[in-house]
Chain A
Amino acid sequence: MKRRDPPKSPHLVTGGLGSPLLWRWHITMWTSILHRATGVALYVGGLIAAAWAVSLAAGPEAYAAFKALLGSIPGKVVMFGLTVSVFFHLASGFRHLVWDAGKGFDLKSANSGSVMIFAFAAAATLAIWAIASQMGAL
């Protein structure tokens, strides 16, 4: 007879077909992992910023090539992702500072703060891209 798998934590299994999930994603889990994910994305963004500085020092052709790369469709997708990441990481980072001060740990504040972080990231991203199109920056 085949040995059965060792029992798993009940929070990681569904309990069989048709039974409800005992474990689900909470909004605070999303903000937690997305703070890290956007931080890693911004690491790439930092390297892009360094490439901007290097291209500026390299002269007009290099700078034009760099701008053309960021202005292309894939470049714009990356810049849009970085805009979302900047504002998410900024808002979530601000909340981390509040937490570090020992405030806002109760469930209600943690949940409503998470909603506000998502709302701020979305609103600020849309606003910046709207301003960018107004300024002719796209």
Chain B
Amino acid sequence: MVSYRTPLGRARGLGSAKHGAGHWVSERVSAVALVPLVLWAVYSVLRLAAGDYGLAVHWIQEPLNATLTALTLAISFWHMHSGLRVVVEDYIHKPSTKTVLLLLNLFICGLAGALAIVSILKVALGAGIPGGV
């Protein structure tokens, strides 16, 4: 079918071209933030893996550890959502499947991220060792 509409006319109404850059920039900004945070997290995982529950509770009750853990989780889940969104958009072309996967990605990252941070705060702000000594 030959279209006599101008390129501008065909592009109109298909959505603004002004939002792509925002996603691109936020993916990079979160990447930059994650460089030091992930190195710190690897070191922390080593310390926690060598210890037991009591050590983990004392560790997370240090304000700096709680803050950095919550930040690492929040920015990681943000970055995970950005990254997997691009993967879905690149490889899944069927509109219904794509929509379902994009929603799942958002909901999984939102739920897991919120759950993880609330759990961290519960232990970090709780006095003593919950359910323990």
Contacts and interface: CB of A to CB of B under 8 A. Distances in A.
Q: Do A and B make up one complex?
A: yes
Interface of A: 36, 39-40, 42-43, 46-47, 49-50, 53-54, 56-60, 63-64, 67, 70, 83, 86, 90, 93-94, 96-97, 100, 128, 131-132, 135-138
Given A47-B112, A50-B115, A57-B122, A64 B80 contact: no
Contacts of B107: none
A130 B108 CA distance: 34
Interface residues of B, number: 39
Interface string B100-133: 0000000010001101111110110000001110
Interface of B: 28, 31-32, 35, 38-39, 41-42, 46-47, 49-50, 52-53, 56-57, 60, 69, 73, 76-77, 80, 83-84, 87, 108, 112-113, 115-120, 122-123, 130-132
Contacts, number: 94
B80 A97 contact: no
Contact of B28 (A47, A83, A100): A100
B46 A128 contact: yes
